[in-house]
Structure 1
C-alpha cells in the first residue's frame, strides 16, 4: 500500500497548534448596529459560562470579559482539541450620547447581546421655527 506525504497539511497542523497555544485574550467577534433609539452589540461567546461574563462601564469605556474553561476528562487521551479555552476581552469607546445607566445584557445560545440606549439629549428632535413677522402681526392685532 502506497502512502503519500502532504507537507502542507503537516505545516497546517503545526501552525494551528501554535495558534491554539497562545496566551492572552481570545478573539470575540461582534456585530454592532443602531436600531432606532438604541445600539445593539452581539458578541459570539460559544461555550462560555454566563456566570463568567463581566460587563462594566467606566466613563466612556465599555468592557466585556468572559472565561471559557477546558472540559476535563480524567484519563482521556485527546485526539483533537481545537476549541480554545481562556479569557475573552473586548473594549469599546461608547461616546457621550448614550445612557450608560440603562445598559442591559442577555446571553442566549452562545451569543451575548448588549443593549445600549441613546440618551435623551442625543436623540433627534424637531425645533419649531418662529417667524418674527408673524409674531409682530399677532402683537398688532391684539393691541
Structure 2
C-alpha cells in the first residue's frame, strides 16, 4: 500500500469520514453543527414549499420533493437521506424553505450520543 502523496483530505475521503458520514452522492447541501444543533441547508430551486416533504424516522432525515410541469411535460424529483450520529430532539426539528433553499434545524439532546454496544466475536 502506497502512502498518500496529497493532503489528508484525499485519503480521509476513502474512510467515509466526516464528509461522507451522511448518505448522499452530490454536493447540493451544506451540513454543519453549531450551538448544539445540526443545520442542514439543501438547494431545491424551482420547488414550491408544498412539493417538499421532510420526515424524521429513527435517526434518519428524509427529504423528498417532486415538481410536475404539465406545460413542458417535465417531472423533477429530489430525494436524499441523512443519518445523524447523535440523538436528536425530534419534537424540536424545524424546517424553513426560502428562496430555493430548504433549511432544517435539528437540535441535539443535551449530553446525548448514539448508543452502541460491543459485539462479541465468536471463534
Q: Any idea what SS the aligned residue of 1:72 has?
A: coil
Q: 2:54 matched to which residue of 1?
A: 55
Q: 2:35 matched to which residue of 1?
A: 36
The alpha carbon displacement at 1:85 in A equals 3.9
The alpha carbon displacement at 1:70 in A equals 2.2
Larger Rg: 1
Residue pair 1:43, 1:113 contacting (<8 A) in 2 also: yes
**C-alpha root-mean-square deviation of aligned residues, in Å?**
2.4
Q: Is the alpha carbon distance of 1:71 and 1:110 closer, same or farther for their aligned partners in structure 2, counting shifts above 3 Å?
A: farther
Mapped partners of 2:29, 2:102: distance in 1: 9
> Quick check: which one's strand share is greater?
2
- The TM-score with structure 1 as length reference comes to 0.55
Mapped partners of 2:27, 2:86: distance in 1: 24
Structure 1 unmatched runs, 5+: 1-26, 74-83, 124-143
How many matched pairs?
88
Q: Is the alpha carbon distance of 1:101 and 1:28 closer, same or farther for their aligned partners in structure 2, counting shifts above 3 Å?
A: farther
Q: 1:22 matched to which residue of 2?
A: none
